[in-house]
Amino acid sequence: MKKPEITFDSIPSSAVSRTTLKICLKCAFDVFTKQLKLTPRTAYSELKKHVPEEVDFTGAATSRPHFFANAKTDHCPYCNGAKRWFADFHAFRIDATPSLEKDRKKLWTVLRKKPERFSLWTPERTQMQIFSEWLERLNRGLNFDDDRWLLEAALSHIKRSAPSNDWDEILSSGVRRVQLSRQVDDSWRYEDGWLYVSPSLYGDVLMVQHLLSRSHQHGGRTFEGRLTFQELIRRLRRIGYFEAKKIDSDDPYEMFEQAVARLVDSGPSAVYYAVDRKDYLAKLKSVYEKKRDQ
Ligand SMILES: [Zn+2]
């Protein structure tokens, strides 16, 4: 019987970010065989241990032999090698809230049984860093020329604020609008394509939209239109956001700072990486065997 494939489906998709990083095996072998003058066999045993670093996956410092590819990429950007030299690393980053830890630990126990295939690491992060990195990833994935980004950003925050696998099911017929409502029992209610949210959650959404867009435009763009900092604070006050968040201050900057702190504190508190090397190890082996038999 075939063993079930390992999946990350037990973790809510809003808490997982997946990245596929390519490696060119021609470049990788060349470093060892041409530059270091090692035999293909030694190169192979060295390369079997290889795991890209976090900065390769984030794009902060992706360097040879690693690169990102789209459907059109059919040659290595460094050596022009053909597609058959490419192999994939799949990185799964989990931003974990305490409520996810049980499922995350369970999954890690399974992954640890395959130490060759899965490389696991836990980078040190403050909650503020986790929040900023999430904003950055969100920022990179959004198209600010199309107003639909407002809804995408809102849903991304709402799902993140209550990570659960149920979201995909609940929202499967789509969300046309996020609407402020004082009549929701908890923090949200979904009905006929509309997602009704509490003042507290709606205010969080405005905060996130403002944080995302204020560097792109003058002021920040939100569901409530383009708002300067002062206008944002007035709008949040009017919807009862600060009251709901129990933020007691008259100074707009302090109110804003405290609101950001609440957003950060309510978010994930730990980061975990799992890098799946299955495709890489298989391709590496087949490239090596061809080299050896030549
Ligand atoms: Zn190459």
Return d(Cα 271, Cα 129) in angstroms, integer: 10
What is the CA(29)–ligand 1 centre distance, in A? 9
Query: What was the pLDDT predicted at 1?
Result: 60
Closest CA to 197 of 206, 208, 186: 186
Coil/strand/helix, residue 188: strand
Centroid of ligand 1 to alpha carbon of 71 (angstroms): 17
Digit-by-digit pLDDT tens for the chain (294 residues) are: 666 788 999 999 999 999 999 999 999 999 999 999 999 999 999 999 999 999 999 888 899 999 999 889 999 999 999 999 999 999 999 999 999 999 999 999 999 999 999 999 999 999 999 999 999 999 999 999 999 999 999 999 999 998 887 898 899 889 999 999 999 888 999 999 999 999 999 999 999 999 999 865 578 999 999 999 999 999 999 999 999 999 999 999 999 999 999 999 999 999 999 999 999 999 999 999 998 887
Nearest by Cα to 206 from 175, 162, 237, 184 = 237
Q: Calculate how far, in angstroms, residue 72's C-alpha sits from the geometric centre of ligand 1.
A: 16
**Residue 281 Cα to ligand 1 middle (Å):** 17
Ligand 1 midpoint to CA 31 (Å): 10
| pLDDT at site 216 | 57
* Ligand 1 centroid from CA 68, angstroms: 12
Q: Other CB atoms closer than 10 Å to residue 107's CB: what's the count?
A: 21
Radius of gyration of the CA atoms of the chain, in A: 23
Residue 172: CB atoms within 10 Å: 7
pLDDT at residue 5 in the model:
83
What per-residue confidence (pLDDT) applies to 45? Answer: 96
Enclosing H/E stretch for 252: helix 252-265
Q: Positive or negative, the Cα torsion across 261, 221, 193, 152?
A: negative
Determine how many CB atoms are found less than 10 A away from the CB of residue 66: 21
Quick one: three-class SS letters along 64-133?
CCEECCCCCCCECCCCCCEHHHEEEEEEEEEEECHHHHHHHHHHHHHHHCCCCCEEEECCCCCHHHHHHH
Q: 36: exposed, middle or buried (C-beta count within 10 Å: 0-12, 13-18, 19+)?
A: exposed
